Amino acid sequence: MEASPLLALEQITFRQEGRTLFEGLDLAIFPGETVILSGPNGSGKSTLLRVCVGLVQPEKGTVRIKGVALSGLNERQLTVIRAEVGFVFQSGGLLSNMTLLDNITLPIRYHQGSVDAVLLEKIDAELEEMGLLPLKKKFPFQVSAAEVKFISLLRASILRPAVLFIDEPLWGLDPSSGTKMIGRLTRFKEEGRTLIVTTSNPASMKGLSDRVLMLQEGRVVEQEKHP
Amino acid sequence: MTAIGSSTLGGLGRAVLRGGGYFLDLLFLAYLAFRELFHLHGPSRRETLRVIHRQILFTGLDALPLLGRIALMIGLTVIVQAVTLLPQVGGEEMLGRVMVLVIIRELGPLLTAIVVVGRSGSAIATELGNMRVAQETDALIVMGISPIRLIVLPRLAGVVLSVICLTLYFDVIAIIGGFIIAGLKLTIPFKVFIGNILSALTFTDLFIFLIKSPLFGIVIASVCCYHGLSVRRSLTEVPQQTTRAIVNSIALSLFLNMIITSLVYL
């Protein structure tokens, strides 16, 4: 029997500034899958991710995370369901008035009150591995775009969310940083995490994906499947 | 009715509806923040208090030197006018009354509010606008962090507490400035000068202070947060919304001041 989807989009219709981005879009993502969402610039990849986590509301249709429809939830229930989600924005989305370490620990401090020493050690180890440990007391504007991206990925993944949305992970990265990023995503995949990654260049993610989906005329078309 | 008259009335109606909608939005934002204040328990409490503390430092403590200088100058100016006029009509003992009337009742709360709008209100609107453009507020939402709790509530609480303390500080410094001139020109002892002020102070003045300062704080924080969070995706919206925040905060504070003064003293 097939497992129930971790994320399901049912008949999603979304319009933005008079333009129809999605019309009757269906999508199901299963636990442990790595899905690459591709399409030309402006096709709505980033918007679709925002729909998935309830940052924008579709005109029609339902988004379900772990079977729970987002549309029927109040703010507090949404907060609970969002704890299941990690999201890396294309620009990073780090808080500019906090250090990199404070950015990483913010969700933990907010949801758990404080950060224990074990977790701090784990964060230091991750930062060390990425070569970012000396930068942990710096602010986002003092580091490069690539470093912001890695910190953002660490922040989104530190609490081991059920599903990780990553918007254009290679955007603004040089080839060497891009290779490091792919390596990191591959490790997540090997750990059995569920990843949904957008890119306008799916070839750059070759070997990482279980499925490559293309956004075409407001619908999702499956391009490749790697069982 | 002519077409021009009809379109004018229609325009007026739309403006009233827009204005009404704007007030409702502000009230709703302030309500959401206050509601969070009563749910301020659990793990997020510490982080929220940390942001409130930072806001008080910026809006309250950092404003002391500037506000002190302004208060001193205002106190001196008011008393200069008073000491040139009052002795001519034999009313030197009216100095205390003038200080209460002009500084404590009106200029203290109002000028403090204007300084806070200029220093902190503009900073809040700009900061939140930039956060919107950089998707920082969206990042908070997807992390399950309430922007109302972590952004709006700390700014509201910080600004309200700061405005109350700063108004008190303004009054004290302005009175000291007033005494310097009064002491030089009229050789009034400090004890007599303060006695004049205290005897002129009424329970209503205290009530006015307790009403005006928090209300101005609520208005400033709500308006500035609202405009900052109204920025959508473009950086060009940030200065536009900041300007609106400053103008509307000052206009609403003046309007509230007029209403409160009229209701209490008329």
Q: Which of A82, A95, A110, A158 to mutate to test the interface with B (most CBs of B within 10 A)?
A: A110
Residue with tokens 């206009």, as numbered in its chain: B251
Q: What is the CATH number of the domain that holds A35?
A: 3.40.50.300
Minimal Cα distance from B44: which residue of A?
A: A110
A176 by Cβ neighbours in 10 Å (0-12 / 13-18 / 19+) ranks as exposed
Residue A186: half-sphere exposure toward Cβ, Cα within 13 Å: 11
- Per-residue model confidence (pLDDT) at position A72: 82
Chain B residues whose CB is inside 8 A of the A112 CB are 43
As for the ipTM of the complex, it is 0.90
Structure tokens at B23: 């007030």
Minimal Cα distance from A56: which residue of B?
A: B138
> Given CB atoms, is A91 within the 8 Å cutoff of chain B?
yes
Please work out, in degrees rounded to the nearest 5, the angle formed at the alpha carbon of residue A37 by the alpha carbons of A48 and A20.
40
Percent of chain A with pLDDT over 90: 52
Select from B47, B134, B142 the Cβ nearest to the Cβ of A87. B142
Instruction: Let me know if residue A187 belongs to a domain.
Output: no
Q: How far is CA A153 from CA A106, A200, A203, B138, in A?
A: 13, 19, 21, 15
Structure confidence by residue, pLDDT tens digits, B150-192: 999 999 999 999 999 999 999 999 988 878 877 777 777 788 8
Chain A residues whose CB is inside 8 A of the B141 CB are 55, 82
Please work out, in degrees rounded to the nearest 5, the angle formed at the alpha carbon of residue B165 by the alpha carbons of B162 and B167.
105
Q: If you ran DSSP here, which 8-state letter would residue A92 be given?
A: B
Say yes or no to pLDDT of B2 above 70: no
Instruction: Let me know if residue A110 belongs to a domain.
Output: no
Q: What is the mean pLDDT of residues A201-215?
A: 85
Instruction: Let me know if residue A182 belongs to a domain.
Output: no
Q: What is the mean pLDDT of residues A112-121?
A: 90
Structure confidence by residue, pLDDT tens digits, A128-178: 998 999 999 999 999 999 999 999 999 999 888 889 999 999 988 888 889
Helix (H) / strand (E) element for A91: namely none
Q: How far apart are CA B147 and CA B151, in angstroms?
A: 5
Domains of chain A: total: 1
Structure confidence by residue, pLDDT tens digits, B25-40: 999 999 999 998 888 8
CB contact under 8 A, B142 and A106: no
Q: What are the residue boundaries of the structural domains of chain B, listed by start?
A: 52-265
Burial A58-75 (b: 16+ CB within 10 A, else e): beebebbbeeeebeebee
Q: How far is CA A39 from CA A155, A168, A169, B99, in A?
A: 27, 11, 15, 70
Radius of gyration of chain A (CA): 17
Helix (H) / strand (E) element for B51: namely helix B44-59
- Per-residue model confidence (pLDDT) at position A204: 83
Higher pLDDT, A133 or B82: A133
Q: How far is CA A149 from CA A23, A94, B4, B77, B187, in A?
A: 31, 9, 57, 56, 68
Q: How far apart are CA B229 and CA A50, in angstroms?
A: 18
Distance of CA A99 to the CA centre of its chain: 22
Helix (H) / strand (E) element for B44: namely helix B44-59
- Per-residue model confidence (pLDDT) at position A1: 46
> Given CB atoms, is B45 within the 8 Å cutoff of chain A?
yes
Say yes or no to pLDDT of A16 above 90: no
Helix (H, G, I), strand (E, B) or coil at B56: helix
- Per-residue model confidence (pLDDT) at position B89: 67
> Given CB atoms, is B47 within the 8 Å cutoff of chain A?
yes
What's the mean pLDDT when you consider all of chain A? Answer: 89
The closest of A110, A81, A86 to A98, measured between CA atoms, is A110
Say yes or no to pLDDT of A63 above 50: yes
Handedness of CA A18, A23, A26, A32 (dihedral sign): negative
Chain B residues whose CB is inside 8 A of the A75 CB are 146
> Given CB atoms, is B136 within the 8 Å cutoff of chain A?
yes
| CA–CA min distance A210, chain B (Å) | 25
- Per-residue model confidence (pLDDT) at position A223: 67
Instruction: Let me know if residue A199 belongs to a domain.
Output: yes
Q: Residue A66 sits in which domain range? A: 1-84+195-227
Instruction: Let me know if residue A13 belongs to a domain.
Output: yes
Say yes or no to pLDDT of B82 above 50: yes
Structure confidence by residue, pLDDT tens digits, B22-75: 999 999 999 999 998 888 888 888 999 999 999 999 999 999 999 999 999 999
Say yes or no to pLDDT of B255 above 60: yes
Instruction: Let me know if residue A117 belongs to a domain.
Output: no
Chain B residues whose CB is inside 8 A of the A113 CB are 42-46
Select from A85, A97, A110 the Cβ nearest to the Cβ of B44. A110
> Given CB atoms, is A87 within the 8 Å cutoff of chain B?
yes
Instruction: Let me know if residue A66 belongs to a domain.
Output: yes
Q: How far apart are CA B207 and CA B54, in angstroms?
A: 29
- Per-residue model confidence (pLDDT) at position B11: 76
> Given CB atoms, is A83 within the 8 Å cutoff of chain B?
yes
The closest of A191, A200, A189, A180 to A226, measured between CA atoms, is A189
- Cβ atoms of residues A22 and A219 within 8 Å: yes
Got the DSSP string for A121-160?
A: HHHHHHHHHHT-GGGTTS-GGGS-HHHHHHHHHHHHHTT-
Chain A residues whose CB is inside 8 A of the B134 CB are 91, 93, 96
Got the DSSP string for A167-186?
A: E-TTTT--HHHHHHHHHHHH
Instruction: Let me know if residue A21 belongs to a domain.
Output: yes
Say yes or no to pLDDT of A227 above 70: no
Say yes or no to pLDDT of B196 above 80: yes
Say yes or no to pLDDT of A2 above 70: no
Other CB atoms within 10 A of residue A31 CB: 15
> Given CB atoms, is A96 within the 8 Å cutoff of chain B?
yes
Please report the beta strands in chain B, taking only residues with DSSP state E, as ranges in sequence order: none
B177 by Cβ neighbours in 10 Å (0-12 / 13-18 / 19+) ranks as buried
Helix (H) / strand (E) element for B105: namely none
Q: What is the mean pLDDT of residues B196-222?
A: 91
